[in-house]
Structure 1
Amino acid sequence: MKDFRLYAITGEEFHKGRDLIQVMEEAILGGVDIIQLRDKYSSKKEVLRKAKLLKELAKKYDIPLIINDHIDVALAVDADGIHIGQDDLPLEEARKIIGKNKIIGISTHEIEEAREAQKNGADYIGVGPIFPTKSKVDVVDPVTTKYIEEVVKEITIPFVAIGGIKLHNVDQVLDAGATRICAISEIVGNEDVTRVCQLFIKKIDERLLIK
């Protein structure tokens, strides 16, 4: 798994009328170095269609494509990995299906979940939601930057901070020790997707230089 700094997840509800592939390519051009297809509402056939297109895009720029939840779709398009939640298929079972050479990421909301994910072989974890977010229904309460600080002290696998992260509050996330950021609406819903990604990367890189 390549290391990464800026992780973008699809959110077509935030850019209605704009082409999915165009938006995600603009994000990549701005510095996004890993993308995830998350589609909770389309038919399996439509998710597969989007996954095929995103796979070609990711291949073009040599970055990983992660599929949220749909392990069968991930296998069908030979995606680089999957992302699962706490209520999805257990990580160990997902690994049996996806294979040892694919990436598995898992969302975590407390340190015990992070410990379990690391112990069970996750390649990375999502840490959040840091702030209130409208990008996901039935979301848990914000875990705040305190959870980032706990993860930094104890967890050795890569983690990405997610949930309500915007340009105006990302400094709080970086101050807490995060070096990888994930955003949805702030990226794909922006009028200038490439520019907002460049600004995120600038903030991350500046913080890494300080460290």
Structure 2
Amino acid sequence: MRESVNSWLLLNLVTDRSLSQGRSLVEVVAEAVAGGVTCVQLREKTCSTRQFLDEALALKALLQPLRVSLIINDRVDIAMAVGADGVHLGQSDMPISHARHLLGPDCLIGISAESVQDALAAEQQGADYIGISPVFSTPTKTDTAPALGLNGIRQIRELVRIPLVGIGGINLTNARQVIAAGADGVAVVSAIMAAESPRQAAEVIRRELG
């Protein structure tokens, strides 16, 4: 799986059940994938471990036959339990070395970077890709550093060789700019999760990305 990191990085959906307008998570994700989402990151901050596990299992059952990668946010234990393709860790989560020891060499490990220093450290410590967060200000996460902007992507791109994914305030109007600045992909939350038609929203953004 690690050999094909770039193949699924283009359009990532980061889930947020609070934006789903009463629809099930599986329903929204299925529509988004039909519209061109290439990777799904399951992010849950408030539910129980059992509910998180159930959601992860349901998404894996949906995504695996479609060859769409499932990444678990924060929770190495959930990633291990469901055999996810990878885990995405923040700066205060489990260190990369410990996660790698538990998950093995083939599981993808992404790291959120809020600065150039974070990005350099992530590459040095063996991350498979970096989530540059946030690129633009966003209401879906309130615990992030000030927005890095497109110049932040350019600075990090000049210094690291591993793939970069931009996240934070990304939508149809700016997704192409994020790629042009040097990112290999974008991660989208509300622009797809809250859309009346997640499929159509994903299709439009995917076309913008080329």
The TM-score range, normalised by the shorter chain, is over 0.9
Q: Deviations over 1:101-137 (max 9, x none)?
A: 1000010011111111111110111012011111113
In structure 1, the residue matched to 2:187 is: 182
Which deviates the most, 172-181 or 162-171? Answer: 172-181
Q: State the secondary structure of the residue aligned to 1:17.
A: coil
Percent identity between the two aligned chains = 37
Preserved contact between residue 109 and residue 129 of structure 1 (Cα < 8 Å): yes
1:138 aligned to which of 143, 149, 171: 143
In structure 1, the residue matched to 2:14 is: 9
Structure 1 residue identity aligned to 2:186: I
Gaps of 5+ in 2: none
Alignment of 1:192-211 (within 5 A): 192-205=197-210
Distance in 2 (CA, whole Å) between partners of 1:6 and 1:171 is: 11
Distance in 2 (CA, whole Å) between partners of 1:173 and 1:34 is: 17
1:87 aligned to which of 83, 92, 113: 92
Task: After the TM superposition, list the runs of 4 or more consecutive aligned residues in structure 1 that deviate by more than 4 angstroms.
Answer: none
Preserved contact between residue 179 and residue 204 of structure 1 (Cα < 8 Å): no
1:26 aligned to which of 31, 34, 43: 31
Alignment of 1:92-111 (within 5 A): 92-111=97-116
TM-score normalised per structure 2: 0.94
TM-score normalised per structure 1: 0.93
Q: State the secondary structure of the residue aligned to 1:153.
A: helix
Alignment RMSD, CA only? 1.1
Preserved contact between residue 124 and residue 158 of structure 1 (Cα < 8 Å): yes
Distance in 2 (CA, whole Å) between partners of 1:81 and 1:45 is: 19
**How many residue pairs align between the two structures?**
205
Preserved contact between residue 126 and residue 162 of structure 1 (Cα < 8 Å): yes
Which deviates the most, 42-51 or 85-94? Answer: 85-94
Distance in 2 (CA, whole Å) between partners of 1:89 and 1:41 is: 18
Structure 2 residue identity aligned to 1:36: Q
Structure 2 residue identity aligned to 1:204: L
